[in-house]
Amino acid sequence: MTAAEVKQVARSLGFDLVGVARAEPAPEAAFYPEWLRRGYHGAMGYLEGRRGEMRSDPRTLLKAARSIVCVGQVYNAAAPYSTDPSTQGRGWVARYAWGEDYHLALKNKLYELVGAMRERAGEFRFKVCVDTSPLLERAHAHQAGLGWIGRNTCLINEGLGSWVFLGAVLVSLELEPDGPAPFRCGSCTRCIDACPTDALIPLAPGEGPSHALDSRRCISYQTIERRGAIPAEEREGLGRHVFGCDICQDVCPWNRPERAAVSRVPEYAPDGAGPNPAELDLAEAASLTQEEFEERFAHSPIERTRYQGFLRNVCVAMGNLGDESFRAPLERLAESEDPVVREHAAWALTKLATRERC
């Protein structure tokens, strides 16, 4: 089976992007140990140790691997961005979390691809990877020509932008590889200038990509991966974000609304009412019981932040927005049995009181 045939099959199954890379260490992998050494991974311990070492070479996942079939599916929706003035005043949920959790949908589609390939090529060894495997998917997608790694550290495709979920299949087949996509950010620094927490760190020439993400500063890390209390000095920087952050993608010229593609995958479609499904009613969110939270977000990425983290983030967003209508729900949360929720509700109430005195 040829690489061209693999691509034809993949596109027929609904993948928006497909390319092939060699099953060998990607050049970007050389910086990964230094990224860990600097502590840029924060408290995400699953990125270090043995699983961290495995990321250096895809053949640690599949010894027989010869090629990596890299794919992408657009998840963008036809709705305003977080930077649009029309979206201000309510809580914000990152674009990727508007629909169902993508991991299962994309993984199932990759197994379909493997089945279709086996019908043509016969038996071969394979390993399906969607985010949770110790594979540097962006780095290999870059080598497969799906796009370049921008200054915002996202993979950017010239035609589709960066609103793309990535997946990969390691295969024991020898397939003709594609070349890496050229860097096309030019002199643009909009993502760096717009990041409210300065999470995008410039790297010296030769260190690796142009920039690295310091997860400890990133709003997505703070609202999704961090457990327990958010340090008080970091709360204002989170703004109104309840789950994730899109700012560095929203401002990217390659993601301009008039040119960015919209997803055709039903599972990724927004699940919410109103003109913008990302705009979370914070007062309503603050009133959810744990059972209601688990039922509402059972198939959503938002489930990952857990009930405590969700209410914590809601408190921070209400405090930063400073609307007096949030006082009642915050006073109720300030009496929560959970000490983390109580602390963040009290902080938000202090913010409201400070605004009153100004």
Which residues are marked as active site? 131
Residue 169 pLDDT exceeds 60: yes
Centre a 10 Å sphere on the Cβ of residue 291 and count the other Cβ atoms it contains: 9
Mean pLDDT for 46-63 is 88
Q: In the chain, what are the domains?
A: 1-280 (no CATH), 281-358 (1.25.10.10)
Q: List, for residues 216-245, the tens digit of each pLDDT value.
A: 999 999 999 999 999 999 999 999 999 999
Q: Are 304 and 96 in contact (CB under 8 A)?
A: no
Confidence grade of residue 272 (pLDDT, cut at 50, 70, 90):
low
Instruction: Give the whole-angstrom CA distance, residue 149 versus residue 181.
Output: 9
pLDDT at 80: 83
**271 vs 161, higher pLDDT:** 161
Q: Shortest CA distance to 341 belongs to which of 315, 302, 303?
A: 315
Confidence grade of residue 274 (pLDDT, cut at 50, 70, 90):
very low
Please give the structure tokens belonging to residue 292: 């209601």
Among the ranges given (143-147, 276-280, 329-333), the one the predictor scored with the smallest mean pLDDT? 276-280
Please give the structure tokens belonging to residue 100: 């169902």
User: What are 129's strand-pairing partners?
Assistant: 168
Task: Mark out the alpha helices in 95-188 (DSSP H runs).
Answer: 102-121, 137-143
Confidence grade of residue 357 (pLDDT, cut at 50, 70, 90):
low
pLDDT at 22: 98
**38 vs 53, higher pLDDT:** 38
Q: Cβ contacts of residue 213 below 8 Å, gap of 6+?
A: 40, 153, 199, 200, 201
pLDDT at 107: 96
Instruction: Give the whole-angstrom CA distance, residue 3 versus residue 333.
Output: 56
Q: Percentage of the chain surpassing pLDDT 70?
A: 97
Instruction: Give the whole-angstrom CA distance, residue 107 versus residue 336.
Output: 39
Q: Shortest CA distance to 112 belongs to which of 132, 126, 98, 131?
A: 126
Kindly provide the residue ranges of all beta strands, DSSP E only, lying in 75-206, ordered along the sequence.
91-93, 126-129, 148-149, 155-156, 164-171, 200-202
Please give the structure tokens belonging to residue 70: 């890299």
Instruction: Give the whole-angstrom CA distance, residue 159 versus residue 14.
Output: 16
SS3 label, residue 35 = helix
Residue 276 pLDDT exceeds 90: no
Instruction: Give the whole-angstrom CA distance, residue 338 versus residue 345.
Output: 11
Helix (H) / strand (E) containing 91? strand 91-93
Integer angstrom CA distances of residue 112 from 5, 13, 14, 169, 170: 15, 8, 11, 11, 14
Q: Percentage of the chain surpassing pLDDT 90?
A: 82
Q: Are 317 and 239 in contact (CB under 8 A)?
A: yes
Helix (H) / strand (E) containing 69? strand 67-74
